[in-house]
A and B are shown apart, each in its own frame.
Chain A
Amino acid sequence: MSICESNTFKRVFDKYSETIRNFIYYKCGDLEKAEDLTQEAFIKLWNNCAKVLLDKAKSFLFTVANNLFLNDYAHEKVILQHRKSITIDQNTETPQFIIEEEEFKQKLKNAIANLTSAQREVFLLNRIDKKTYKEIAVIVGISEKAVEKRMHNALMNLRKEIKNHI
């Protein structure tokens, strides 16, 4: 099965494109850039389709995406959204605990933006994309133990940062 066949290529795209786009976004906070670099990575895969074996496609894509990112130095603050757990009704008085919850979420998002890129990408791949540490190790290109260390440090730093803003 060759990546040069359009069905196979599409399957590879369907499987990995969202993760790559999110991964680059967590690094730089620019959605348009993340989508552009994802596209470029797949174009490179297509151009090399005869040389890349199907089981190496994942590794090829993540490495290329990361290298493309390294050659491109614009960084912006990572701004995330979150699902609102309940719509705040203007007419009724909002319970205090809901207000506090929304405030906490905002503090959390700011704290995430202030993490190092290395900690942030691991943290968000786990929390948003629900990737296992093993999967994150492959995406980022480090060992599973290193992923756990970054996750641990991210949590510690988030707690510290949030506490300092009360």
Chain B
Amino acid sequence: MEDNKKDNTFLARWINGKLNPKELADFEKSDEYHEYKKIAEASDSLVMPKYDKEKAYRKLLGEIKSARKTKQLVPSWLTGLAASVLIIFGIYFMFRSTTVTTDSGETLVHILPDSSEVVLNSKSKITYNKRSWDKQRSIKLEGEAFFKVRRGAKFEVLSNENTVQVLGTEFNIRSYNNFFEVTCFKGKVKSMAEGGQAILLPGQAFRSIHSRIEEYTFEKEIPDWINGESSFVRVPILHVIRALEDNYKLTIEYGNIDLSQEFTGSFSLTDLNLALETVFSAMNITYSMKDSNTIILSGK
């Protein structure tokens, strides 16, 4: 079977009955042939547990009907958040809260009442209570922001199920669905999430991606995005795509690409074509513009 070592679809064609008579005759003479024949025959008799289609359909209809009843009660902007977070933040920040939001492609510096600074990246949002700020520095974050915190009372950043506590430092937080990352640039940061916590010193980072906890080190002095580049270290491409969409106000259709492939690298936050080229050519993904706001992806 010498030739077959180079022909990497030979067995697939054989089991499908697509070999030519000569190829088949040669293969049948080989030593391995009867072993493969056994595998083909035995695997042919494999079965899955029986599938009751009607029962599954009735269950689906029941699910759709009950979802419809509760669907009307929940406004669409709430569906992204976990219910428990809603209860905590909804009530606490309902009165006298200050909210700052950025749009796609926008960054903003916001000075807090104690002169601490927050630099917000695209499509991000912070909420805090101005009145009680000198007693309790608690700020809620959705998206990405770089913080420069003055010494003072305990400073807390709350996002999804995570809390970051600091005492006068510089750090960056990324908080999105299934992706939470804290990088410490100065001072000391304590990051707490379900599944773990970490105390970070400058040059250290902590993250939880799809509940997988990871700690790593880095050598930058400020986050790359402040200088116009968004960078990622071994991050599932799903999140890189989301970052592209947020920054450039796009809709990206994934098609059938493998969203769990890990991407390491960065993309420009100011040049769309360069950004698309750098991200997708590295991952062997082709992209095309459907219109000025929509990109379609496909694997090579």
Contacts and interface: CB of A to CB of B under 8 A. Distances in A.
A152 B10 contact: yes
A151 B14 CA distance: 10
B48 A25 contact: yes
B218 interface: no
Contacts of B15: 126, 151, 155
B256 to A, nearest CB: 3
Interface residues of B, number: 44
B57 A13 contact: yes
Contacts of A81: 46-49
Interface string B223-257: 00000000000001010000000000000001111
A149 B64 contact: no
B194 interface: no
B125 to A, nearest CB: 23
B78 interface: no
A156 interface: yes
- Give the residue among A59, A66, A112, A148 with the most B Cβ atoms within 10 A: A148
A149 to B, nearest CB: 5
B299 interface: yes
A46 B57 CA distance: 13
B2 interface: no
B210 A71 contact: yes
B259 A70 contact: yes
B12 A10 contact: no
B59 interface: yes
Nearest to B7: A152
Contacts of B56: 17, 21, 35, 38-39
B9 A149 contact: yes
Contact of A10 (B8, B51, B57, B238): B57
Given A13-B57, A63-B255, A127 B44 contact: yes
Interface string A21-43: 11001000001000100110011
6 contacts: A10-B57, A66-B256, A70-B259, A141-B258, A151-B11, A159-B35
Interface of B: 8-13, 15-16, 32, 35-36, 38-39, 42-49, 51, 53, 56-57, 59-60, 63-64, 67, 178, 210-212, 236, 238, 254-260, 299
Interface of A: 10, 13-14, 17-18, 21-22, 25, 31, 35, 38-39, 42-43, 46, 59, 62-63, 66-67, 70-71, 73, 80-83, 85, 101, 104-105, 108-109, 112, 123-124, 126-128, 133, 140-142, 145, 147-149, 151-153, 155-156, 158-159, 162-163
